Amino acid sequence: MPIVIAIDGPSASGKSTNARLIAKTLGYTYVDTGAMFRAFAWSCLKRGVDVHSPAAVVAALRDWNATLECVDGQVRLLVDGYFPEKEIRTAETSAAASSIAAVTEVRAWMKEAQRSCVKFGDLVMEGRDIGTHIFPETPIKFYLDASAEERSQRREAEGVNDDLAARDKRDSTRAVAPLTVAVGAIVINNAGETPQQTSERMLVEIRRLLAERK
């Protein structure tokens, strides 16, 4: 069974940067599950689906053409064979992603797709519910965090206009698979650290846990 490193945390907590660094160092496949929710949200917006209507969202889910591929050690979700890399990063898509992510059927679809990623080998998977719901059985789980102020500053520095507070509230209070610290997760507050420092701290823990597995 491939190894899965689960990384969860709120928006701008450094999940993507650190997950990428760790995947590269270990030679594992990187999976950005937020990008998968964003791709579905983008597809809904493109088709004029009301993302605030669960019934409309479920109907769109039954009728979308999505495929997974792995390119350069990174999993991508294609919509009608197209990877909407830039389109999924707009403020509109961010807000829509958080809405469609609260729909039970969407989460069930994503869970199946995300678990199937082990076909691409050992994984570093980041999101909101990886350690709690997608791979609860993995012994290697992290929860990254930093203060709301610092996280907002990071997004501003990236030039991204994103209502983090609203999104975090929705992501942690929804009924299905809300963002919470998984049992057994190592909590890392990376305030004031560089990604190199945080990923080094994480790699120390990962190597220790991998050695224990043997």
Between CA 59 and CA 53 the distance in angstroms is: 10
Q: How far is the CB of 137 from ligand DC (least distance, A)?
A: 16
Q: What is the DSSP letter of 117?
A: G
Please, which residue, 128 or 141, has the CB nearer to ligand DC? 128
Q: How far is the CB of 64 from ligand DC (least distance, A)?
A: 16
Please, which residue, 87 or 210, has the CB nearer to ligand DC? 87
Q: What is the DSSP letter of 118?
A: G
For the chain, how long is the longest CA-to-CA vector?
A: 51
Please, which residue, 166 or 187, has the CB nearer to ligand DC? 166
Selection from 185, 178, 191 nearest residue 205 by Cα: 185
Q: How far is the CB of 200 from ligand DC (least distance, A)?
A: 22
Please, which residue, 89 or 201, has the CB nearer to ligand DC? 89
Q: H helices of the chain, where?
A: 15-26, 33-46, 54-62, 91-100, 104-115, 148-157, 164-173, 195-213
Between CA 5 and CA 209 the distance in angstroms is: 10
Q: How far is the CB of 211 from ligand DC (least distance, A)?
A: 28
Residue numbers at the binding site for ligand DC (CB under 6 A): 11, 33-34, 37-38, 97-98, 101, 127-129, 167, 171
Q: How far is the CB of 54 from ligand DC (least distance, A)?
A: 14
Let me know: does 131 contact 33? Beta carbons within 8 Å: no
Between CA 205 and CA 207 the distance in angstroms is: 6
Please, which residue, 42 or 120, has the CB nearer to ligand DC? 42
Distance of CA 134 to the CA centre of its chain: 11
Point out which residues pair with 142 in neighbouring strands.
Answer: 7, 186
Q: How far is the CB of 12 from ligand DC (least distance, A)?
A: 8
Selection from 36, 9, 10 nearest residue 164 by Cα: 10
Please, which residue, 149 or 212, has the CB nearer to ligand DC? 149
